[in-house]
Structure 1
Amino acid sequence: MNLITLAIPFFLFAILLEVILDRWKGWGLYRLNDAIGNLSTGILSRIIGLTYKSLFLVIYIPLFALLQPYYQLVGFHWSIDNGWHLALAVLAYDFCYYWKHRICHEVNIFWAEHLVHHQSEDYNLTTALRQSSGGLQLNWIFYLPLLLIGLPAEIVIAAGAIDLIYQFWVHTQKIPKIRWLEWFLITPSNHRVHHAQNRVYVDKNYGGILIIWDRLFGTYQPELEDEPCLYGVRKPLNTFDPVAANFQHLKRMALDAWHTKNWWDKFTLWFRPTGYRPADAESAMPVTSTNLANFKRFNPEISRGLRNYAFIQHFCYSAATLSLLWLNSQLSFWQLLGTVTTLIFCLAINGRILDGHPKSYYLESARLAALACAIPLLSNMFVPLFVSYLIASALVWWWLASKRKEDKVTFVSD
C-alpha cells in the first residue's frame, strides 16, 4: 500500500469539508459536473496504474544495480529511515520535478499527458486529484539524474509521493497569499497562477514544493490583485468524460500528423513547442482558442434528475475503486483487468450523461445490460448487492428516460 493510496481518505475528507463550507458560505467554487469530471479522471489514473508495471522501475532499478561500484567508491548510502536523508531526497526530487513540469508545458508530446491536470475550469481541491492516466510513461526520464547521487528507487518513490501529497492543499481559492511563505514554498496563491490561462500567468510557477526553482530560473509570477485567474486551457475540453480528457491533445496531434502533407512535420510535430501545428493541418482543421474577454465555462444544462443519477453512480464507482485499491493484490491479472475495464466504461458514460450527450441514454442502458450479463462471473458473496444495485439503477434510469422529452438539455459538442 503506497502513501498516495493511504492519503486518499484524507483527500476525500478535505474535499467534503471544502464543499460544505462552499455551500454554507455561498462561495460558488464547486459545480457538480466539473467536480465529478475531476474525480473521475483521478480514479482513472489510479486504476489504470494497477494494470501495468512502471517503466521508471523497470529502467531505474537495473541502472541502480549497475552503478553499485560507483556508489561504493563515492560512499553513497541512503536510508529511508533517516529523516535527513528523506528530506534531502525530497529536495532533489523537487528539483527534477521542476524541470519535468516545465518541459511538460513546453513540448507537445509531454503536454499531451500533463494537459489533463489543467483542463478543469474550476479551481478547488478536486482539481488536485485530476491526474493523467500516464499511458505514455514519459516522466521517468526526468528522474534518472537521481541515479547520480545514488538514490534507491524506494526513496525516489517515497519522495515523489510526498511531493505529490504536498501539492494537494494548494489547489484552493480560499487561502490568500501567505506573506513570507510565498518566497520559498508553493502556496495556493502562486499555484493558482500556474493553473490560470491568462496571458500574464501562462507557463509560470512550475515548482512542486519549492517556488525557489522558479525564482532562480525566471519562471516566477506572483498573483496580481487586478488580474483574476481564469482557469482551464486555451483549447477547452468541453466534456466530462475522463477517457476523452486523456486523449484530447494526442488526438489533435495524430490528426495533424495525418492531414499535413509535410513529412518532416508528420514526425517532428510531437516534439515541437506546445501548440505547434503544421500550417496546412491548422487550415484544414482550425481549433478555436478561448476568448478570455468573454470567458464562459463549459456547463451544459441537464435535468436535476440526471445530475442526481450521475452523482449517485459516481459514488458507487468511487466505492468500487477504493475497494479495488485495497484488495487488488487478491485478484488475478485477468480479474483485475476486467474490473478496471468495466470501471473505465462506467466513468466515461457517466461523463457523457453530465455532458447532456444525446447518446448517453442508449449508452447507459447498454452499460446496465452488459453488467447484468456479467452477474454469473461474480463471487456469490457479491451477487445480492450487485443485483440490488442493477435493479435500482435500471428502474431510476427507465424513469428518467421516460421523462427525457420534458428535460431541458443544452448539449455542447466537443
Structure 2
Amino acid sequence: MEHFGKLPLYASAVIVFVSLIEAVVLSRKKRSTATPFAWYEVWISLFDLVGRKLLALLPLSLATPVFALAWDHRLFTVSINSALMVFALFIGQEFCYYWYHRASHRMRFFWATHAVHHSPNQLTLSTAYRLGVTGKLTGSAMFFTPLVFLGVRPEVVLLTLYMNLLYQFWLHTTWVPKLGWLEYVFNTPSAHRVHHASNVEYLDANYGGVLIIFDRLFGTYVEERAEEPCRYGLVTPTTSRNPFVVEFEHWATLIRDVVTAKSVWIAINHVIQPPGWLPDGGGETTEELRRKSKPVRSEVETVNG
C-alpha cells in the first residue's frame, strides 16, 4: 500500500489540470452565447479541493474508529490475490457505494455535505472535485464498513473507493454523447447528467459509481431524454459566489430547523428525512415536487395531444 501514498496528490494535479483546459475551451466557446462560462464555479471547486486536502491532515474522521472496530471483529481475513477476489471487491464496493450515494440524497444529514457537489449551475469537470469539506465529519465512509467486517483491510477499501471516484471524474461533462450499449452496464456521462439535473423527472436517479446495474436493479435508473434537457444545480439554485456560503448553507438551515423544531421527534426527522421534508407534509421532497408537477404535466400533454 505504500506505493499508493502519493497517488491522490498526483491524481489531483492531473484532474485539476485537465479541468482547467476544459474550462478554457468552454469559456471561449461560450463568449458569444447568452449564458457565458462561470469561472467562479471553478474557483469554488478548487477552494473545496484545497479545503479537503487540509482537513485530511487532521484526525477528524468518524469512520476511522468504526473501521477499526469492524476490523478487530472481522469474520474473515481476505487477501486480494486473484482476479476473482478483485472482481468480488469491485462488486461489493459498488454495492456499498450505491447505498452510500442514495442515502446522501435521501437523508438530510448526509445531503448537507453532498449538496455542495450538486451546487454548480453548470456541469463541468471541475464539478467532480467539489465534494464538500464536511464529508469526513459526517462519517459517510461508514457505508463501506461491511467490506471491512468481511475481512478486507480498511486501507484497501478506501483505495478502492478512491479509484471509484477517479473513474467518475470524466462523467461530469455535457459534451460526451450517449455511448450505446455501455449505457446498460456502466455509469456514463449521459447517466450522470441526469443525476446532476434538477428537473423534477430526473431527481434522485442514477446513484451508481462505475456501474449502473444497481440503479436498474433497484428502480432508480432514469434515461436522459433529448426532449427533456438537463437543468443543472439544485432545485433551489445556489447563487452565492462565496465558497463558505456554498459549503455551509445547508448545514446552517438544518441546524436552524432542528433548533426551532416543536418536538424532539420532529427535530430527529429533520435530520433523517429527505431534504425538503416538513412535518405537515407540504415540503419540497422529490415525492412532493413530483406530486405538484403532475397537474402541470397533464395540462401540457392535453394541449399538445
> TM-score of the superposition, structure 2-length normalised?
0.83
Tell me which residue corresponds to 1:246. 247
SS in 1 for 2:138: coil
The structure number with the bigger radius of gyration is 1
Residues 30 and 50 (structure 1), Cα distance of their counterparts in 2 relative to 1, 3 Å cut: farther
Q: Deviations over 1:11-33 (max 9, x none)?
A: 02211321233245448673111
- Tell me whether 1:6 sits opposite 2:10 in the alignment: yes
> What is the CA-CA distance between 1:132 and the residue it aligns to?
1.2
Q: Provide the rounded CA distance (Å) in 2 between the counterparts of 1:146 and 1:280.
A: 37
The answer to whether the Cα contact below 8 Å between 1:86 and 1:155 also exists between their aligned partners in 2 is no
Residues 60 and 31 (structure 1), Cα distance of their counterparts in 2 relative to 1, 3 Å cut: same
Residues 280 and 128 (structure 1), Cα distance of their counterparts in 2 relative to 1, 3 Å cut: closer
Tell me which residue corresponds to 2:177. 176
Tell me which residue corresponds to 2:298. none
Q: What does 1:64-83 correspond to in 2, within 5 Å?
A: 64-67=71-74, 70-71=75-76, 76-79=77-80, 82=82
Q: Provide the rounded CA distance (Å) in 2 between the counterparts of 1:173 and 1:29.
A: 15
Amino acid in structure 2 at the alignment position of 1:174: W
Q: Provide the rounded CA distance (Å) in 1 between the counterparts of 2:255 and 2:211.
A: 35
> What is the CA-CA distance between 1:267 and the residue it aligns to?
3.4
The answer to whether the Cα contact below 8 Å between 1:192 and 1:223 also exists between their aligned partners in 2 is yes
- Tell me whether 1:107 sits opposite 2:114 in the alignment: no
Tell me which residue corresponds to 2:19. 15
Q: Provide the rounded CA distance (Å) in 2 between the counterparts of 1:280 and 1:206.
A: 26
Tell me which residue corresponds to 1:43. 50
Q: Provide the rounded CA distance (Å) in 2 between the counterparts of 1:174 and 1:9.
A: 22
Identity of matched residues, %? 33
> What is the CA-CA distance between 1:90 and the residue it aligns to?
2.4
The answer to whether the Cα contact below 8 Å between 2:30 and 2:37 also exists between their aligned partners in 1 is no
Q: Provide the rounded CA distance (Å) in 2 between the counterparts of 1:57 and 1:29.
A: 43
Unaligned runs of 5+ in 1: 283-288, 293-414
Q: What does 1:133-282 correspond to in 2, within 5 Å?
A: 133=133, 134-278=135-279
> What is the CA-CA distance between 1:153 and the residue it aligns to?
1.0
Amino acid in structure 2 at the alignment position of 1:191: H
Q: Deviations over 1:308-338 (max 9, x none)?
A: xxxxxxxxxxxxxxxxxxxxxxxxxxxxxxx
Q: Deviations over 1:117-168 (max 9, x none)?
A: 1011010000001111115323133112113432111210110110010000
> What is the CA-CA distance between 1:83 and the residue it aligns to?
5.3
> What is the CA-CA distance between 1:246 and the residue it aligns to?
2.5
Match 2:64 to one of 25, 37, 57: 57
Q: Provide the rounded CA distance (Å) in 1 between the counterparts of 2:157 and 2:210.
A: 15
Aligned residues: 277
The answer to whether the Cα contact below 8 Å between 1:90 and 1:160 also exists between their aligned partners in 2 is no
The answer to whether the Cα contact below 8 Å between 2:102 and 2:207 also exists between their aligned partners in 1 is yes
Q: Deviations over 1:365-400 (max 9, x none)?
A: xxxxxxxxxxxxxxxxxxxxxxxxxxxxxxxxxxxx
> What is the CA-CA distance between 1:7 and the residue it aligns to?
0.3
Q: Deviations over 1:192-219 (max 9, x none)?
A: 0000000110000000110001000000
> What is the CA-CA distance between 1:3 and the residue it aligns to?
3.0
Q: Provide the rounded CA distance (Å) in 2 between the counterparts of 1:210 and 1:254.
A: 35
The answer to whether the Cα contact below 8 Å between 1:38 and 1:127 also exists between their aligned partners in 2 is yes
Amino acid in structure 1 at the alignment position of 2:13: P
Tell me which residue corresponds to 1:311. none
Tell me which residue corresponds to 1:129. 129
Residues 258 and 24 (structure 1), Cα distance of their counterparts in 2 relative to 1, 3 Å cut: closer
Q: Provide the rounded CA distance (Å) in 1 between the counterparts of 2:190 and 2:249.
A: 28
Q: Provide the rounded CA distance (Å) in 1 between the counterparts of 2:53 and 2:282.
A: 35
